[in-house]
Amino acid sequence: QLQLQESGPGLVKPSQTLSLTCSVSYAAITSGDFYWSWIRQPPGMGLEWIGYIYYSGSTFYNPSLESRLTMSVDTSKNHFSLRLGSVTAADTAVYYCARSGTYKKNFFDSWGQGTLVTVSS
Amino acid sequence: EIVMTQSPATLSVSPGETATLSCRVSKSVSGNLAWYQQKPGQAPRLLIYGASTRATGIPARFTGSGSGTEFTLTIRSLQSEDFAVYYCQQHDNWPPEFTFGQGTKLEIK
């Protein structure tokens, strides 16, 4: 049973960089059938997709966040990471990592438990 | 950009009854629509994909229907664990445009 686990600081200062890692267990991140995404949810609000990465390193980002966003993958550690720069209070949210499929199967069938990141001085 | 509109925002239904949730999409996505359930403090869980296919372990009381731009999630014989927020997401276009509806909160009447 695939497991995803987010990790990283729970508190980030404004203007700094938010960094999170998603560790994947019981499945190989190198499977060509899947993409690996970050999704966030501000307190009391809905879901916002941030971006995805393929095991090859190719990425696709939400245009609204693209200028501040970098995603990377480490296949040797079976994990992928998120860096979001120049954060503000508006970036405070629960951050989830999730897996989706390929063409026409790009729905999220597995999710991490989520990690709350608060942007505050 | 594809816009997902869910209605109603909040739905009050008594246990044992049937809940009907709607999702409208701004352009046709054929049958490529997913539904998720989210309980407080938990990650979303995939319920339905391909408009009507239940994900692994999802009870038969959850039924998805629709195609094109109009979709429905029906939950029969509501149980206490079904009261949650439900989101729809289209999975038709490529590269994927991952947009979710704003959610419908299903609450106990």
pLDDT band at B1 (very low <50, low <70, confident <90, very high): confident
pLDDT at B16 (0 to 100) = 97
Give the C-alpha distances (Å, rounded to integers) separating A117 from A5, A61, A93, B105. Answer: 14, 20, 6, 24
Minimal-distance CA residue of chain B relative to A107:
B91
DSSP conformation letters of B5-22: EEE-SEEEE-TTS-EEEE
Nearest to B46 by CA among A8, A43, A45, A96: A96
Selecting from A47, A109, A111 the residue whose C-beta is nearest the C-beta of B87 gives A47
Residues of A with CB below 8 A from B46's CB? 107-109
Distance CA(A86)–CA(A69), nearest Å, equals 10
pLDDT at B38 (0 to 100) = 98
pLDDT at B94 (0 to 100) = 82
DSSP B81: G
DSSP conformation letters of A18-36: EEEEEEEESS-TT-TTEEE
Q: Contact, A10 vs A116, CB < 8 A?
A: yes
Nearest to B88 by CA among B97, B98, B100: B100
Return the number of other C-beta atoms located less than 10 Å from residue B107's C-beta: 13
Higher pLDDT, B95 or B66: B66
What is the least distance, in Å, from the CA of A110 to any CA of chain B? 8
pLDDT at A49 (0 to 100) = 96
pLDDT band at B97 (very low <50, low <70, confident <90, very high): confident
B43/A114 Cβ within 8 A? yes
pLDDT at B71 (0 to 100) = 98
- For A86-108, the pLDDT digits (tens) are 999 999 999 999 999 988 899 99
Return the number of other C-beta atoms located less than 10 Å from residue A77's C-beta: 12
Low-confidence ranges of chain A (pLDDT < 70): none
Across residues B52-79, what is the average pLDDT? Answer: 98
CA B44 distance to own-chain centroid: 11
Selecting from A39, A104, A112 the residue whose C-beta is nearest the C-beta of B92 gives A104
Residues of B with CB below 8 A from A106's CB? 91, 94, 96, 98
B100/A49 Cβ within 8 A? yes
pLDDT band at B95 (very low <50, low <70, confident <90, very high): confident
- For B28-45, the pLDDT digits (tens) are 999 999 999 999 999 999
Q: Contact, B77 vs B101, CB < 8 A?
A: no
